[in-house]
Amino acid sequence: ADFDSKKKRKVAEIYQALNSDPIDVAALRRMAISEGGLLTDEIRCKVWPKLLSVNTDDLPPLPGKELRENNKDYQQVLLDVRRSLRRFPPGMPDDQREGLQEELIDIILHVLKRNPQLHYYQGYHDIVVTFLLVVGDRLATALVEKLSTHHLRDFMDPTMDNTKHILNYLMPIIDQVNPEVHDFMQSAEVGTIFALSWLITWFGHVLSDFRHVVRLYDFFLACHPLMPIYFAAVIVLYREQEVLDCECDMASVHHLLSQIPQDLPYETLISRAGDLFVQFPPSELAREAAQQQAERTAASTFKDFELASVQQRPDTVLRQRFRERLRGEERTKSILTKPRTNRFVKLAVMGLTVALGAAALAVVKSALEWAPKFELQIFP
């Protein structure tokens, strides 16, 4: 009964944010981050476009079959989509699934044709099919195009350099929280390739329960583009004992970590990922994560992307929530990091940043205007 009343209250708050004038995107982001996410696919159809600033009144027309003629990506996309059977609900009639697979091919080719700077990668279809199943083909096309030119842009470069750079954030995050696990993984020389499919598919390829996939998509759509790598880090940290009990060699540790458990405590891990993002924002980790490439990634140039003023809000939401938790709990229990002499200095600075961020964002919120060069000083 308590769960039902909380769910009803949350649904009411989401619709209140959707119906406000202007739409309260900051509140929608809070709803997407907080426990349970956006709750239903019906709500996601309404909220996901707001999180990505997609105008649902001006959707692209459905592509014609000429898209497939002389298309350099068609054969590879076709092969990947044919292999995507398990991404569709079990028990779905074959003709319905085959129809959706045809739509999936068309969405991918449409986005690639309209954005020739983007390059297809294996795993991209795992993200696209999630949007197709939740919102349908026309809206999925618009959402995927916006996502591909922003959050996923680094994965769609001609080379994997920027994808590797983003993976390089994983070990510094782990080191900040649990240096023992970090050192063990370094000794095993396992690297970060085990997390590649997690990152480039937003976990869509490796999680079998669709409910968990869309819950993570709620979270990632409401946050900074690097949040999936923080979530990858908390999965490794959650499995601390398994990792330390493993043989300290590359094959053993890679095998363990690449087999992702399906019964993860998702809400707890989402909360921890948010906390770690607040404590160790990308700007602090960038030097360790190969500084020479930092200027070229979507994650580090995020303030220049047209949605910067809106997209930064979840980071402030997470900071505020974290600061409130610190007030109400013993600090030793609420902080996930190893003891460090500068911890309380860091938290004091963090509190100041929250105040400055809230002030800056209040100015933006009044009109909800896009501001490509709006200089938010919270994160790079």
Point out the least confidently predicted range of 34-48, 55-69, 136-150, 279-293.
Answer: 279-293
Q: How confident is the model at residue 20 (pLDDT cuts 50, 70, 90)?
A: very high
pLDDT-derived band at 263 (thresholds 50, 70, 90) equals very high
pLDDT-derived band of residue 290, with 50, 70 and 90 as boundaries? low
Cβ contact 370:306 at 8 Å: yes
Tell me the domains of the chain and their CATH numbers.
Answer: 1-155 (1.10.8.1310), 160-311 (1.10.472.80)
- Side-chain-side CA neighbours of 91 within 13 Å: the count stands at 0
Average pLDDT, the chain: 81
- Among 322, 271, 308, 313, smallest CA distance to 26 is for 313
Q: What is the pLDDT of residue 62?
A: 73
pLDDT at 379: 26
| pLDDT of 326 | 65
CA distance 367 to 79: 46
Query: 33-42, 136-145, 321-330: lowest mean pLDDT where?
Result: 321-330
Confidence category of residue 116, pLDDT binned at 50, 70, 90? very high
Q: Please provide the DSSP assignment of 293-359 as one string.
A: GGGGSTTTTGGGSTTHHHHTHHHHHHHHHHHHHHHHS-HHHH--SPP-TTHHHHHHHHHHHHHHHHH
Using CA atoms, how far residue 267 sits from 36, 91, 229, 240, 325, in Å, is 7, 28, 16, 18, 16
More confident residue, 168 or 328: 168
pLDDT at 307 over 80: no
Q: 22: cis peptide before it, omega within 30°?
A: yes
pLDDT in tens, 70-113: 889 999 999 999 988 889 998 999 999 999 999 999 999 999 99
Short-list 144, 125, 118, 23, CA closest to 82: 125
Confidence at residue 287, expressed as pLDDT on a 0 to 100 scale: 79
Give the pLDDT of residue 366. Answer: 29
Across 227-239, average pLDDT: 97
138 pLDDT exceeds 50? yes
Is the per-residue pLDDT at 348 higher than 60? Answer: no
**pLDDT greater than 50 at residue 311:** no
Q: Are 361 and 316 in contact (CB under 8 A)?
A: yes
Least confident residue range of 241-245, 265-269, 368-372? 368-372
Q: How confident is the model at residue 367 (pLDDT cuts 50, 70, 90)?
A: very low
Question: Widest CA span of the chain, in angstroms?
Answer: 63
pLDDT in tens, 316-336: 666 666 666 666 655 444 444
Confirm if 253 and 246 have CB atoms less than 8 A apart. Answer: yes
Q: What mean pLDDT is predicted for residues 173-198?
A: 95
Confidence of residue 226 (pLDDT cuts 50, 70, 90): very high
Higher pLDDT, 344 or 17: 17
Q: Is pLDDT above 70 for 132?
A: yes
- E-strand ranges in 184-327 read none
Could you tell me which residue, 288 or 44, shows the higher pLDDT?
44
Question: pLDDT: is 366 or 31 the higher one?
Answer: 31
Q: Which long-range contacts (CB under 8 A, 24 or more apart) does 287-292 make?
A: 288/168, 288/171, 288/172, 289/165, 289/166, 289/168, 289/169, 289/172, 290/165, 290/168
